[in-house]
Structure 1
């Protein structure tokens, strides 16, 4: 008798669709009223809470599915450096898409407000860095990656990274999150702990907030330097930016690879909670039944989200 200790791919795909629709309909409405309050509502009520409720109702062990185990100080320090060197690569990938889209459309989405003082900076860190770091990691590197692990660790990392990218519903912010999703998935896999990917996600978003805050403080000096510098054609500016970002990203990627390769691995075995009681349908008599043929996977929910992603971005960038 074997116990199915994690959700199936079909189950998490349906969950992915449901939460994606919640995000698009109610999350967008909440964020339009007030961005920071809307983000808190979206992350905690529309992402984190449904995942926890689903796992508890299905009788799964939160500790086992999510990987709630401690990481070492050495792992934590190395994860911070991993995300520092992953950030330039994510920026470069997003910039490539921006250049491509900008050549066909002038429509640009409004980004997250840049903090202009210490109070706004701290609030930004809590709302934009810590909150998604917790809530989105519970969903993607916790619930979803645990389910997708049944098709293999590497495939699970790639699949959840792709779904993570689609879940942003922003063409200009697709490749960056996809790449970061791979990095966070590797961290989750090697450490066996969700805390590692939560730390990594929080550090990445914190870097973005911090850079924006620092540049705001230097804005006046940068404006003076820009006004005195010779004016370059827009096309040349893009080429120079691509070269600079590309060189920075290449160097960072080499260091990132070495850091990920040498990230200390942990014992992935986690004892189940004492009150974990599996459902009857989670008990299988034959070990081979735990393996699922890919043809039996329900991909319709993922296809629907991908279709919505394409439709919304095409409508915004090319029809407006």
Structure 2
């Protein structure tokens, strides 16, 4: 529980940085006259990567072991890329649901960057988050949940991934995406599996949005669509999502089978990654309520933030 408590404290700090960091950084951004793309890259590094480095130093973890920096097998690459495409209909379906209630401001951000070169947009919206968010969530955070079981760890870190975005229109699909990515990392033992999948997913959406916006077409508002068309979209995406889920489960099982020996060996070596041996020798124990209390605080802060910024009375 000690390790879980530490990583939950770390996540709470991340949430506070995401909320407060922008206000502190705003004067610097204005003085440097940075464009939106540069700002997004800067914030990912300052608000995610730097805290991860500090966390690993403070907890005395090996970056290679904690972040699962291990080469991905060539034979697994195509399967990982395929999952990146299969999550698209799932995210689209869940995005439609949330967009019935909350405005999709992700589309607004992409619209503001549509004048930028496609390559730079891919770096900003696809590559940078794929690296920074995966190092943070499927690296540092997931490592803190290794001992509670794959399924619990996947669901909890998926929930935290949704909270970290601080955007209600993204919550459902980032929650599910976070679960899938956690299963992938656990199956392959490599952070690069989730990075590549995340990049493929984001990259496809960026390219699609860029081409659409360059042609002068704005993304439709789901709330104003003809009900028959909207229902048709829901049914189509729901069926596609079910099919995708079935295929993804089969692929993850295949990935697990491909890496069963190496992942089992790695987990055995990392049983005492940090804290577990010291916890027993020091006689220090933390009860579950205390260990998970930072998550509860994070969820409360998230709800307050969403209510203040997205809910109109």
TM-score of the two chains, using structure 2 as the length reference: 0.82
Indicate conservation of the 8 Å contact 1:160/1:181, yes or no.
yes
**Does 1:133 find its partner at 2:130?**
yes
Q: Superposition pairs for residues 1-320 of structure 1, below 5 Å?
A: 8-27=3-22, 30=25, 34-99=35-100, 101=101, 109=105, 111-114=108-111, 116=114, 120-219=117-216, 234-263=226-255, 264-266=258-260, 267-268=262-263, 269-270=265-266, 283=278, 295=288, 297-319=290-312
Query: Quick check: 1:141–1:194 contact (8 Å CA) kept in 2?
Result: yes
Aligned residue-pair number: 295
Q: Tell me if the contact between 2:2 and 2:275 (Cα under 8 Å) persists in the aligned partners.
A: no
Gap regions ≥5 residues in structure 2:
none
Are residues 280 and 112 of structure 1, via their aligned partners in 2, closer, same or farther at CA, if it must alter by over 3 Å?
closer
Contact 1:191 1:265 in 2 (8 A): yes
Q: Residue 117 of structure 2: SS of its match in structure 1?
A: helix
- Decide which structure has greater helix share: 2
Does the C-alpha gap of structure 1 residues 216 and 233 become closer, same or farther in structure 2, counting only changes over 3 Å?
closer
Distance 2:63 2:2 in 1: 11
Question: Offset at 1:252?
Answer: 2.4
1:98-129 Cα distance to aligned partner (Å, 9 max, x none): 12x16xxxx55353324646x62111111111
CA contact (8 A) 2:3 2:275 kept: no
Judged with a 3 Å threshold, the aligned counterparts in structure 2 of structure 1 residues 127 and 310 are, in CA distance, closer, same or farther, namely: same
Distance 1:282 1:47, change over 3 A: farther
| Structure-2 residue corresponding to 1:3 | none
Inter-partner Cα distance in structure 1 for 2:275 and 2:240? 54
CA contact (8 A) 1:30 1:37 kept: no
Q: Give 1:272 deviation, angstroms.
A: 12
Q: Is the 8 A contact 1:7 1:146 kept in 2?
A: no
TM-score (norm 1): 0.80
> How far apart are 1:192 and its partner, in Å?
0.5
Compute the displacement of 1:306 (Å). Answer: 1.1
Deviates further, 25-34 or 239-248: 25-34
Displacement of 1:271 in angstroms is 10
Note the C-alpha offset of 1:312: 2.3
* Alignment check: 8 A CA contact 1:66 1:138 kept: yes
Q: 1:214 to 1:15 in 2, by over 3 A?
A: same
Q: Could you say which structure has the larger radius of gyration?
A: 1
Gaps of 5+ in 1: 1-5, 227-231
State the superposition RMSD in angstroms. Answer: 3.3
